[in-house]
Amino acid sequence: MSAVNLTAELVRLQTETAKFQHDFTDNVNSFFLCSMALIIFFMQCGFAFLEAGAVRSKNTTNILIKNLLDSLIVIIGYWAVGWAFAYGESANETVGLFVGHSQFFLAGYTDYSKFFFQYVFAATAATIVSGAVAERCEFACYVAYCLIISTIVYPFLAHWGWNEHGWMAQGITSGVINTKYDDFAGSGVIHLCGGAISLLAAWIMGPRIGRFPEDDEDESDEILGHSVPFAALGGFILMFGFLAFNGGSVGSLSNEGDGQIVALAMINTILSGAFAAITYLIVYFYQYGKWTLLLTLNACLSGMVASCAGCNKMETWGSVWVGVGAGLIYLALSRLVRKFKIDDPLDAFAVHAGGGFWGLMSASIIAKGGIVYALFDLITGADNSGDFIKASFAQLGWQMICALAIIVWSLVIMYPVFAVLKKIGKLRVPEEIEINGLDVFKHGELAYPLRAYGHGWHEFENA
Amino acid sequence: MSAVNLTAELVRLQTETAKFQHDFTDNVNSFFLCSMALIIFFMQCGFAFLEAGAVRSKNTTNILIKNLLDSLIVIIGYWAVGWAFAYGESANETVGLFVGHSQFFLAGYTDYSKFFFQYVFAATAATIVSGAVAERCEFACYVAYCLIISTIVYPFLAHWGWNEHGWMAQGITSGVINTKYDDFAGSGVIHLCGGAISLLAAWIMGPRIGRFPEDDEDESDEILGHSVPFAALGGFILMFGFLAFNGGSVGSLSNEGDGQIVALAMINTILSGAFAAITYLIVYFYQYGKWTLLLTLNACLSGMVASCAGCNKMETWGSVWVGVGAGLIYLALSRLVRKFKIDDPLDAFAVHAGGGFWGLMSASIIAKGGIVYALFDLITGADNSGDFIKASFAQLGWQMICALAIIVWSLVIMYPVFAVLKKIGKLRVPEEIEINGLDVFKHGELAYPLRAYGHGWHEFENA
Amino acid sequence: MSAVNLTAELVRLQTETAKFQHDFTDNVNSFFLCSMALIIFFMQCGFAFLEAGAVRSKNTTNILIKNLLDSLIVIIGYWAVGWAFAYGESANETVGLFVGHSQFFLAGYTDYSKFFFQYVFAATAATIVSGAVAERCEFACYVAYCLIISTIVYPFLAHWGWNEHGWMAQGITSGVINTKYDDFAGSGVIHLCGGAISLLAAWIMGPRIGRFPEDDEDESDEILGHSVPFAALGGFILMFGFLAFNGGSVGSLSNEGDGQIVALAMINTILSGAFAAITYLIVYFYQYGKWTLLLTLNACLSGMVASCAGCNKMETWGSVWVGVGAGLIYLALSRLVRKFKIDDPLDAFAVHAGGGFWGLMSASIIAKGGIVYALFDLITGADNSGDFIKASFAQLGWQMICALAIIVWSLVIMYPVFAVLKKIGKLRVPEEIEINGLDVFKHGELAYPLRAYGHGWHEFENA
């Protein structure tokens, strides 16, 4: 070929290759986000059954419809305004530190896979609370808090922590210090937020009738869930979903090594969950002589929650400590809550706030670049170890500030909501309904109508 | 390098790049189809539990085995002949408008991922009907209709609508009119087909004993399903699956923007389901003062069914109307069916035929390029708005013709099948079996054998 | 452009393209492995419910926690040492034939997606056994065997068969003979291993109290599982998972045609399962006049197990015979086990060892390049058909040797384990606990606490 032809051919090849790479990367990234989002979406089913198994049969339909509506209310709320607050642009830089305000109803926005992925995260944030208010929450209250969490509370937090313009994401830069909110998959903005609201809701709502009898002795046995298998089913689905939750948070497959980070995140998630569960199981067995399934499952979930923040850069040995810590924190918090006679039927606070907070801390302590690494450098006398120490402690401090901000924001918005609902009598169902169960009165649907049972063929039965 | 070397290098690079692009596109497309097909396959579990929850305990094993066998019978039937009818070639062009007839048993066909994806669609079409005939259908009848739907009824429809040679896909071209059957993910060829057959089957089979008592008052409560949680589990799985169903229908990731269409389809699916569910819930609450879970779930599914046809090109605001419409149509049809004393225990007709028909219509009315857009152009006085109006109404007309063809074909093939089965006494189980339940007599397996229950450790129980 | 510029541009393009191809292939391969591994992980939930449905209500919590802990114990054991044995390097070539011994705790290893994928396989191997020892196994015994299978038994087998240095993978080369262990997705190293250990465990442990009454007549009805729907749920999830199990075993999407092999593997898996199920169903109906759900499900799974070994190179017609064979072998083995009064509540031996063994054989007989093809060549008088016959029979012989090695190894390691546990009284729970159920005594958690049931609103109930 002549030089002219060669040039033309080369340019053509360059153009074609660039187009292929661009299109294909886009398509594969979308596929990745959508497939992970699908599995995260299925976590709604997991929460539904974890909670359905943990309530009495008379409130089963109620808890199921709550969880079904979660995903449906949140898609409407997040599509209408939530996304705009979280990821919309703001012309004003100062406003932009706190909230976005464009792309309402997705107007003009076409990166659908990112939206879809963010939607399933929002749905998760909203659904955590339903466990804490189970068996006594008014339907109107549920719809209200669900809408407000998905349109205001969570979107603002996502903006602060995950939008590049947000104040937590921007952090502080000064000398060797360069802090940035570090929360890969939402230990803070999702789980700590949901967990904090859970505690608030459970506290304002008060315990279920009969939950804390005068005679304190047999408290832990007082109200039992009606189906261990359903709770276990929910737990399995949540574990399945958590792997996608944390793996999917890589968010793209465009950069070198992205795929391996997906896998690393998944490994750290299951490792952390495993160590949390085993730790809890052993402590519990040591104390009570029983191998508890339900609480071990909760411990496992709290380990997975804790792994959210740093699973992308944690070395696998680090997950041992993330897990052990999460298991113990869950143990401590769940007992503390009971001590204060706050009735959180699903331990939503202990699992999500405890795991979430420890996740934020451990990401600055144990994950690569964290305090443990700085101390190791200091001890081995590496260069600049003093700066490293300073920077890593500053980072931990910033994480704490952000954790505090998340808690305060969640409570400041939600307290008035619950207070108003209480005022107007829409917070909690009347005593008669609570005692007889919400299913019949509120939904007209018994979970297990007696008349639908009957085994027939008596000869067979008696054989 | 010399020009000669350069040319050689360039040609080598071109060849290599072309090969990489070709192979990798193939592989990723296969991966995409297979992973979406996997989740769609799991919808069989969703249908099984939606239906198992909705029947009485004495027929639970029966409905579960029906749904298990669906996927197994359909893979055999669709592999043997169904695929050949749907996507095989025909040497004769006129025959080719109606049916293919090559690649029986996949002989000579190697695009396995396309086959696998189409198989899970065929399984869905067949499985819809099992809800309508629940609690009274003979096992032989079930096997027969399942085989015929998956080998004849659905494959022909897929050929008509989705094979480029099919008469519905070819449509009519004349002047500004250029109609083509427009059914992205099967509102028509799957759901309208399955829904129409459901009504036929439920009608021929007659209502379950005790379904419509003389005294009309308490009809709606007469026969209740035995487990709301199972029905909800099925519903959650179906929602999960529907997202893959509609997203996966993009069918490839090779073209610019394919990935975003996957995500858009998923968003429209959940939005449409959400608006259908909320609409139904509000209307129902207004009428009866109860927040129904089971019917809201059905409404949500009908919204998702309706989104199938146009979710790839619907703007998100359009899904609001697809959903609201689907919710209301489901409401109307489910009551109409009951008014006519046809016993469709799962509302398979109302959900799938109602949602499916509205899906086909809305794809021509609300989706991009539809009548709403033509009217907008007309009102704003855009160029060629007259032609646009003409073309879009012609398209709607063609959709109606195709919808009619789907219904007629489904009924024309299946009516004789059910009639013959009735004649030879293989349509419906004898009265004694129906009253005592199919599980023991037909399957020898009680869903919940009493002897397997017993809680032990009486001290604990009584504590 | 000048030649110099052209050269520079071309080199730049070459470099960029190579980098893109390398990175993107890596990322997509990771994504593929992780997403398939996710679904395989979910099989733990499938096993849990298949088994939970098949035990009595008093042992339901016990079987669920066993299955939950499977995935958690295995991640710890496999991460710590299992992986190192299976895929670690060995400096010594002879040692390397049998075991690796580097990368303990994943030290220095970064191909995380491969590890994650292998982990879910290890979890599957360990989980098979829990069905065989259900309702009577001590918790300590369960933890012990689970750890040993995931850290020693299975990793060694994986090394032998799937590590390129392993002795089974290396095989024998001599003249026209070139054997290599041929087990695509683990019919042998996973299922035959798990199945053989299941039989051993069930035999050593002895039958459940009341399983084989003096009066032999009604044996098959003696102990029934408490929930057919749970068993079916587990079965559906396992079918879903098996498709990913076999499809995912392709392991990469880098080579031409990989994607289609993924799809082919899935098609063969479902076809084989379908033919196994239908075969069993017909034989059983012919004998007993009932359409059994639970056993058909087991037959389906045994067909899927059998498809593991050769599903990547089986033509679809071959899966008919893989399935029919698996269905019949399952039938025969499950009866044989009962004849010998060995109590394997889940038929773990018949499903996994029977299906697994037949899978290994059929991969050398029916799959492409197998004996059937050699015989066809011989009959049609193709060139070198004699060599082909020789080579294919040698391959079958090698498969048999490997199958034997898998069985022997599994039993040789596990027999002492169970024997020691028996000696120290940690094999089986005391009679009193077995009779009253493990849930209360061992776990303190009834699956369905009576006090959690109660339907409220008596007026409604009686209406």
Contact residues, A window 63-92, toward B, CB-based 8 Å cutoff: 64-65, 68-69, 71-73, 75-76, 79
Residues 6 or more apart whose Cβ sits within 8 Å of residue B196: B349, B353, B406, B407, B410, B411
Both tokens assigned to C388: 């082909």
Cβ atoms within 10 Å, residue C180: 16
Q: Which of A45, A76, A116 lies at the smallest CB-CB distance from B236?
A: A45
For residue A450, the model assigns a pLDDT of: 87
Interchain proximity A293–C27, CB inside 8 Å: no
**Which has more pLDDT, A6 or C111?**
C111
The CA-atom distances, in angstroms, between C79 and each of A268, C41, C75, C103, C156 are 11, 16, 6, 9, 14
- Do B48 and C236 count as a contact with CB atoms less than 8 A apart? yes
Evaluate the CA torsion angle C377, C379, C385, C391 in order and state its sign.
Answer: positive
CA distance A49 to A286: 29
Work out the angle at residue C163's Cα, subtended by the Cα atoms of residues C162 and C164, and round it to the nearest 5 degrees. 110
Counting every residue written for chain C, the total comes to 463
Report residue A460's pLDDT band, with 50, 70 and 90 as the boundaries: low
Residues A40 and A122: their CA atoms lie apart, in Å, by 11
Closest CA to B137 of B201, B44, B53: B201
Question: Across the interface, do C460 and A437 touch by the CB < 8 Å criterion?
Answer: no
Cβ–Cβ < 8 Å for A25, C24: yes
pLDDT surpassing 60 at residue C460: no
d(CA B425, CA B83): 31
* C441: chain B residues, CB-CB within 8 Å: 457
The pLDDT of residue C458 is above 80: no
B385 or C461, higher pLDDT = B385
> DSSP letters along C21-50, please?
HHHHHHHHHHHHHHHHHHHHHHHHHHHHHH
User: Is the pLDDT at A458 greater than 90, yes or no?
Assistant: no
- The answer to whether C287 and C336 are in contact (CB under 8 A) is no
Overall average pLDDT of the B409-418 stretch: 97
Cβ(B208)–Cβ(B223) below 8 Å: yes
* AA letter at B431: E
CB-count burial class (<10 Å; 0-12, 13-18, 19+) for C390:
middle
**In chain C, positions 247-276, which contact chain B (CB-CB < 8 Å)?**
247, 253-260, 262-264, 266-267, 270-271, 273-275
Nearest CA in chain C to A225: C452
Q: Give the gyration radius of chain A's Cα atoms.
A: 24
C449 Cα to chain A: minimum distance (Å)? 6
pLDDT tens-digit map of B302-346: 999 999 999 999 999 999 999 999 999 999 999 999 999 999 999
Give the 3-state secondary structure of residue B178. Answer: strand
The Cα–Cα gap between C395 and A35 comes to 40
Distance from the C328 Cα atom to the nearest Cα atom in chain A, whole angstroms: 28
Cβ contact C38–A243 (<8 Å):
yes
Give the pLDDT of residue A213: 79
* DSSP class per residue in A385-428: HHHHHHHHHHHHHHHHHHHHHHHHHHHHHHHHHHHHHHHTT-SB
**For B284, nearest residue in chain A (alpha carbons):** A443
Contact A436 C449 (CB under 8 A): no
pLDDT, mean of residues C317-344: 97
- The rounded radius of gyration (Å) of the Cα atoms in chain B is 24
User: Does the CB of C118 have a partner CB in chain A at under 8 Å?
Assistant: no
pLDDT at B6 over 80: yes
pLDDT-derived band at C215, boundaries 50, 70, 90: low
**Average per-residue pLDDT in chain B?**
93
User: Is residue C463 scored above 50 in pLDDT?
Assistant: no
Task: Taking residues A62-72, report their average pLDDT.
Answer: 95
pLDDT (average), residues A139-150: 95
Residue C105's alpha-carbon distances to A261, B152, C79, C86, C87, in angstroms, are 17, 56, 5, 13, 12
What would the 3-class secondary structure string for B399-438 be?
A: HHHHHHHHHHHHHHHHHHHHHHHHHCCCCECCHHHHHHCH
d(C-alpha B157, C-alpha B126), whole Å: 13
List, for residues C219-272, the tens digit of each pLDDT value: 455 799 999 999 999 999 999 999 999 999 999 999 999 999 999 999 999 999
**Interface test mutation site (partner C, options A62, A211, A238, A270, max chain C beta carbons within 10 A):** A270
A459 or A352, higher pLDDT: A352
Contacts of B224 (CB under 8 A, 6+ apart): A446, A449, A451, A452, B56
pLDDT digits (tens, 9 = 90+) for C59-95: 999 999 999 999 999 999 999 999 999 999 998 989 9
Q: Under a CB-based contact definition with an 8 Å cutoff, are residues A298 and A350 in contact? A: yes
What percent of chain C shows pLDDT beyond 90? 88
Residue among A58, A240, A463 minimizing CB distance to C38: A240
Q: What is the pLDDT of residue A217?
A: 56
Q: Nearest-CA distance from C288 to chain B in Å?
A: 9
CB B84 within 8 A of CB B100: yes
pLDDT mean over A126-148 = 94
Instruction: Name which of A245, A273, B39, A270 is nearest C119 in CA terms.
Output: A270
A458-463: average pLDDT: 53
Neighboring chains of B (3 or more beta-carbon pairs < 8 A): A, C
Strands A177-178 and A173-174: antiparallel
Would you list the DSSP string of C364-423? HHTSTTSHHHHHHHHHHT-TTHHHHHHHHHHHHHHHHHHHHHHHHHHHHHHHHHHHHHHH
C-alpha span between A306 and A316 (Å, rounded): 14
Cα(C309)–Cα(A38) distance, integer angstroms: 30
Q: Measured between CB atoms, does B127 come within 8 Å of chain C? A: no
- pLDDT-derived band at A215 (thresholds 50, 70, 90) equals low
User: Looking at the predicted structure, is the pLDDT value of residue B398 above 50?
Assistant: yes
DSSP three-state, residue A358: helix
Distance from CA of A175 to the nearest CA of C (A): 33
| A-chain residues near B35 (CB < 8 A) | 35
Q: Which residues of C touch B31 (CB under 8 A)?
A: 28, 32, 253, 259, 262
Residue C227, classed as helix, strand or coil, is coil
> What average pLDDT does the segment C191-217 reach?
90
Using CB atoms, which chains have 3+ pairs under 8 A with C?
A, B
**Residues in A 425-444 with any Cβ partner in C closer than 8 A:** 435-437, 439-441
- Chain centroid to CA A386: how far? 35
- The pLDDT of residue A451 is 86
- Work out the pLDDT band at C454, boundaries 50, 70, 90: confident
B375, exposed or middle or buried, with CB in 10 Å at 0-12, 13-18, 19+?
middle
Does residue C216 have a pLDDT over 60? no
Highest mean pLDDT pick, B85-94, B394-403, C220-229: B394-403
Q: Among candidates A107, A118, A105, which has minimal Cα distance to A163?
A: A118
Residue with tokens 């939530």: A82
Over residues C107-127, mean pLDDT: 94
Q: Which residues of A touch C113 (CB under 8 A)?
A: 259-260, 262-263
pLDDT digits (tens, 9 = 90+) for C152-195: 999 999 999 999 999 999 999 988 889 999 999 999 999 999 99
DSSP class of residue B129 equals G
Percent of chain A with pLDDT over 90: 88
* pLDDT tens sequence across A18-55: 999 999 999 999 999 999 999 999 999 999 999 999 99
Residue C143 sits at the vertex; the CA angle it makes with C142 and C149, to the nearest 5 degrees, is 90
In C, residues 223-252, which contact A (CB 8 Å cutoff)?
227, 230, 233
> How many angstroms separate the CA atoms of A258 and A175, rounded?
30
Band the pLDDT of A176: cuts 50, 70, 90. confident
- pLDDT(B77) > 50: yes
Q: Give the one of A35, A57, A296 whose C-beta lies nearest to C35's C-beta.
A: A35
Tokens of A85: 């607050």
What CA–CA distances, in Å, run from A82 to A113, A146, B53?
A: 16, 12, 35
Structure tokens at C368: 């492409």
List of chains touching A (3+ CB pairs within 8 A): B, C
pLDDT digits (tens, 9 = 90+) for B108-144: 999 999 999 999 999 998 899 999 999 999 999 999 9
Residue in B13, B38, B72 closest to C39 by CB = B38
CB contact under 8 A, B278 and A72: yes
Beta-sheet pairing, A177-178 with C173-174 = unpaired
Q: Is the predicted pLDDT of residue B150 greater than 80, yes or no? A: yes
Q: Which pLDDT does position A222 carry in this prediction?
A: 72
Nearest CA in chain B to C252: B27
Q: What is the pLDDT of residue B381?
A: 87
- pLDDT more than 70, % of chain C: 96
Q: Which long-range contacts (CB under 8 A, 24 or more apart) does B19-26 make?
A: B19/C256, B20/C21, B21/A20, B21/A24, B23/C255, B23/C256, B23/C257, B24/A24, B24/C21, B24/C24, B24/C25, B24/C28, B24/C253, B25/A24, B25/B253, B25/B254, B26/C256, B26/C257, B26/C259, B26/C260
* Mean pLDDT score, A195-211: 95
Q: Is the pLDDT at B418 greater than 80, yes or no?
A: yes
Taking each helix axis from N to C end, the angle separating A139-148 and A60-77, rounded to the nearest 10 degrees, works out to 30
Report whether pLDDT(C369) > 50. yes
Q: B227–A460: do the CB atoms touch at under 8 Å?
A: no
* Whole-angstrom distance, CA of residue C155 vs CA of residue C161: 10
Are A444 and B263 an interchain contact pair (Cβ–Cβ within 8 Å)?
A: no
Give the nearest chain C residue to A222 (CA atoms). Answer: C451
Instruction: Enter the tokens of residue C397.
Output: 């012989």
Write down all domains in chain A, each with its CATH number in brackets: 3-462 (1.10.3430.10)
Q: How far is A227 from chain C (nearest CA, A)?
A: 5
| Token duo for residue B169 | 């896909």
> Radius of gyration of chain C from Cα atoms?
24
Average pLDDT, chain A: 93
* Residue where the block lists tokens 């749920």: C233
In this prediction, residue C221 carries a pLDDT of 54
Residue B463 is predicted with a pLDDT of 43
CB B182 within 8 A of CB B310: yes
Residue A316 has pLDDT above 60, yes or no: yes
A221-225, B130-134, B404-408: range with lowest mean pLDDT: A221-225
